[in-house]
Amino acid sequence: MNAIAKKTFTHTLKKLCTSTFIFSLSFALLPAAYGDDVVVGFIYVGSKGDYGYNQAHALGAAAVKAMPGVKVIEEENVPETIAVQNTMESMINLDGAKLIFPTSFGYFDPHILTVAPKYPDVTILHAGGLYQEGKHPLNAGSYFGYIDEAQYIAGIVAGGTSKSGKLGFIAAKPIPQVLRNINSFTLGAQSVNPKITTQVIFTGDWAMPVKEAEAANSLIDQGIDVITMHVDSPKVIIEICERRGIYSSGYHADQSELAPKGYLTGAEWNWPKVYTDFVTLLKDGKPFPHLLRGGIKEGLVKVSKYGPAVSAKTAALADAAKAKFMAGDMVIYKGELKDNKGNVVIPAGTALSQTDIQLESMDYLVAGVIGNTGS
Amino acid sequence: MKALALVAAMEGLLIPLLALLLSLGIFGVFLLAVDNDPFGVFYSMYRGGFGSPFSWRNTLERAAPLMLTALCTALPARLGLIMIGGEGALVIGGIAAASVGLSLNGNAPWLVMIAMVIAGAFSGGLWIASTGWLKHYRGVNETITSLLFNYIAIALLNHLITGPMRDPQSLNKPATLPIGSANMIADIPELGVHWGLAFGLVLCLLYYLIFQHTTLGFAVRIIGGNIRTAKIVGLPVGRLTVMTCFFAGAAAGLAGMIEVAAIHGTANGSLAAGYGYAGILVAFLARQNPLTVIPVAILLGGISASAGLLQRSHHLPDATVFILQGIIFIVILLSETLYGRLKLLCDERGRT
């Protein structure tokens, strides 16, 4: 090869390399095209088929998927680490997502708070109700439901059905959200039968199937005949209750198919409504609520259909409570209320409505609950 | 001699490369079996892991902690120990860094930073050094001890963040108080990845030099080769064991410090996110060589960075990348038997 030929050859090679490089780069940088559809991303902390927390959100995503002009992308098992920041950015950069729902509580601080300011034209809405006006980015928001209202009704059903008067509650961690569910469930049951007790077992984390199974078995061995829970996936507990012939009350999603005989009812999220509402607002370019909270009345939470074991009398009591919630004149937390150590936590004459900030930092278990909040 | 070194280097490059290609091939067959287009998936993996500056950042951010936790397994392996305590050392390093960061809050940021680095590395180092000590002086199996130490570390973390060190504001996700934005590790300009990546790269390089090219490293390898010989030639086996384990734990402890100071800003339950366990895989794939840890961590970082795209674009379950990782792991371990047997290189070897 002579010098000139060599030079042309290298030149061509160089040119070829650069153009291929630019081509591949631009190709790689282009978000995948989905036509004019709005791309909406959902991020789950666990498996979306967990019969629980994540499945409830995935049902919401499925409802959004059915809307016209929307393309839904989903990613499951994303931990609350830098991984979720990267997943959000990957959805934005590679898929062109304009709206993202990261659905785990721990995704908010610092992860959403880090990513949202970098992409002002993308909206990130978080399940957890942590948004603070003036402090957090304008393109972020947070929503959550007062699911303890549904737990209160489930408590009425449990209290009315239990023969032993002993209920069981398997919970992940003694944090305010969980304590509030345990207390509301117990207060609901006590409204039917004041002598009722709830034995609590904390497993320490959100998804501990082995510990949950051990806890369920030990509760049943103690003569407890209704068990409910606050863990990410109630599947194991519900199945054990059914197998051992006691009643169960579900959580997060409808688990009745796991226990056709013993499933009484359950406290469920109503994410399809929340998500389709948000997507409709954002698609039309309308302003959206940065902090959305609500209970049964607002349609954020609901109660599963009553199972075959629920008597007509008990169902009527539960429906009456539900009607009061719908009318907006039901107060769960009112004085005088004592904790299970005998201290007065709400003095006589005081009534705390669901929106009361004091309830957000609940650190006690009400009288009638057996267990303690120390971890 | 030179030719021999060259053959060894070529083997070191060629065999893992062949193993990777074979793994991709097997993975491709698996994808076909589940009715997916292998080339489409490979392209998405490239796109998600390495196809754009953003993807590179994603990959490197995931690789950074893996480099450090891999060292926690790779160094003790030179002593012949199988140490799997990276997760615990990371958690302990994170707790220590957060407590030091919190107690020095208000001082000059550089001072706080140095103190946090020392606290993270030192506490992680002591954590693993103690398992090394138990092994040498008490004969307790280091694999079991370090595994159990992980549980202890996580239990300690949970106790501290829900009890004595809890920020009363952290209601539903217990955490310590934030160390303050002034004390956080910044991003590397242009790259957008935090400086923790540099810690990983430097430490891999440093440990490679120490354990491959100094008499100290040679002594450690003698212990790993034959502990009796090491004792007969008068090496201080106990001291070297504890010291190597200390270096190993320090790397993982540093990873914990970086998680706190570059990402979370607090110590919380997300410290135990499995980086320690993923590091074990990286160390074995890198054949316990600190320098090889770097590309292997980047490879695994890239695979996990692309995992999301596989779910979103190809509707593959989240476990798909674990299948690929598993295939790579097995093929690379099996390929170890090829060293010194490649026909292509055999003649060269015979001649020298």
Q: Residue A235 domain-assigned?
A: yes
Q: Which two tokens stand for residue A330?
A: 């039901």
Note whether A333 and A254 are same-domain residues: yes
Q: Residue A274 domain-assigned?
A: no
Q: Residue A212 domain-assigned?
A: yes
Across the interface, do B270 and A91 touch by the CB < 8 Å criterion? no
CB contact at 8 A, A52 and A238: no
Position B343 scores a pLDDT of 64
Q: Residue A15 domain-assigned?
A: no
The angle subtended at Cα B34 by Cα A38 and Cα A33, nearest 5°, is 20
Across the interface, do B172 and A76 touch by the CB < 8 Å criterion? no
Query: Which of A106, A173, A204 minimises the CB distance to B270?
Result: A106
Give the whole-angstrom CA distance, residue A54 versus residue A35: 29
Give the whole-angstrom CA distance, residue B250 versus residue A157: 55
Note whether A131 and A252 are same-domain residues: no
Q: Which two tokens stand for residue A316?
A: 């009527």
Average pLDDT over residues A160-173: 96
Note whether A84 and A122 are same-domain residues: yes
Position A91 scores a pLDDT of 95
Note whether A112 and A214 are same-domain residues: no
**Residue A53 in this model has a pLDDT that exceeds 50:** yes
Find the radius of gyration of the CA atoms of chain A: 25
The count of domains in chain A is: 2
Note whether A196 and A101 are same-domain residues: no
- Residue B108 gets which letter from DSSP? -
Chain B residues close to A360, C-beta within 8 Å: 171
Amino acid at B238: G
Position A26 scores a pLDDT of 39
Chain A residues close to B318, C-beta within 8 Å: 47, 75-77
For the sheet containing A70-75, what is the strand order?
Answer: A70-75, A38-43, A99-102, A123-127, A140-145, A291-294
Q: What CATH number is associated with residue A254?
A: 3.40.50.2300
Cβ atoms < 10 Å from Cβ of A210: 9
- Among chain B residues, the shortest Cα distance to A26 is held by B52
Say whether residue B160 is in contact with chain A using an 8 A CB cutoff: no
Across the interface, do A93 and B52 touch by the CB < 8 Å criterion? yes
For residue A42, which of A52, A28, A55, A29 has the smallest C-alpha distance?
A55
Largest separation between any pair of C-alpha atoms in chain A: 101
Q: How many CA atoms lie within 13 A of A81 on its CB side?
A: 21
Query: Which of B51, B158, B318 minimises the CB distance to A77?
Result: B318
Position B2 scores a pLDDT of 62
Position B95 scores a pLDDT of 97
For the sheet containing A226-230, what is the strand order?
Answer: A301-303, A263-269, A247-252, A226-230, A166-171, A197-202, A369-370
Q: How many CA atoms lie within 13 A of A13 on its CB side?
A: 6
- A292 pLDDT band, cuts 50/70/90, is very high
Across the interface, do B48 and A94 touch by the CB < 8 Å criterion? yes
Give the whole-angstrom CA distance, residue B225 versus residue A192: 73
Among residues A93, A121, A145, the one where a domain terminates is A145
Q: Which is it for strands A333-334 and A351-352: parallel, antiparallel or unpaired?
A: antiparallel
Position A274 scores a pLDDT of 95
Note whether A189 and A328 are same-domain residues: yes
Across the interface, do A82 and B61 touch by the CB < 8 Å criterion? yes
Note whether A207 and A320 are same-domain residues: yes
Instruction: Map tokens 């430097």 to a residue.
Output: B202
Cβ atoms < 10 Å from Cβ of A134: 5
Average pLDDT over residues A326-352: 94
- Among chain A residues, the shortest Cα distance to B258 is held by A82
Note whether A204 and A243 are same-domain residues: yes
Say whether residue B51 is in contact with chain A using an 8 A CB cutoff: yes
**Residue A27 in this model has a pLDDT that exceeds 80:** no
Task: Find how far residue A205's CA is from the centre of its chain.
Answer: 15
Position A16 scores a pLDDT of 44
Across the interface, do A82 and B52 touch by the CB < 8 Å criterion? no
**B58 CA: distance to closest CA in chain A (Å):** 6
Position B347 scores a pLDDT of 54
Domain extent at residue A96: 38-145
Query: Which of B52, B172, B265 minimises the CB distance to A110?
Result: B265
**B224 CA: distance to closest CA in chain A (Å):** 36
**B263 CA: distance to closest CA in chain A (Å):** 7
Q: Residue A26 domain-assigned?
A: no
Across the interface, do A80 and B158 touch by the CB < 8 Å criterion? no
Position A11 scores a pLDDT of 52
Note whether A132 and A201 are same-domain residues: no
Among residues A100, A130, A145, the one where a domain terminates is A145
Instruction: Map tokens 């729902």 to a residue.
Output: A101
Among residues A113, A145, A177, the one where a domain terminates is A145
Across the interface, do A82 and B162 touch by the CB < 8 Å criterion? no
Query: Which of B52, B162, B173 minimises the CB distance to A29?
Result: B52
**Residue A268 in this model has a pLDDT that exceeds 50:** yes
Dihedral over Cα of A298, A304, A305, A311: its sign: negative
Note whether A121 and A160 are same-domain residues: no
Q: Residue A252 domain-assigned?
A: yes
Residues 290-349 on B with a CB inside 8 Å of A are 304-305, 308-309, 311-313, 318
CB contact at 8 A, B340 and B24: no
Note whether A70 and A210 are same-domain residues: no
For residue A87, which of B90, B343, B306 has the smallest C-alpha distance?
B306
Position B15 scores a pLDDT of 86
Q: Residue A152 domain-assigned?
A: yes
Give the rounded percent of residues in chain A with a pLDDT score beyond 90: 83
pLDDT one-digit tens code per residue, A201-221: 999 889 999 999 999 999 999
CB contact at 8 A, A253 and A298: no
- Averaged pLDDT, groups of 10, chain B, 352 residues long: 72 85 94 90 93 93 96 96 97 97 93 96 97 96 96 95 89 90 90 92 96 94 93 94 97 97 94 94 92 94 92 89 91 85 59 45
CB contact at 8 A, A153 and A265: yes
Q: Residue A6 domain-assigned?
A: no
Average pLDDT over residues A158-167: 96
Q: Bridge-partner residues for A34, per DSSP?
A: A36
Q: Count of residues for chain B?
A: 352
Across the interface, do A375 and B309 touch by the CB < 8 Å criterion? no
- Among chain B residues, the shortest Cα distance to A39 is held by B312
Average pLDDT over residues A38-61: 94
Note whether A200 and A136 are same-domain residues: no
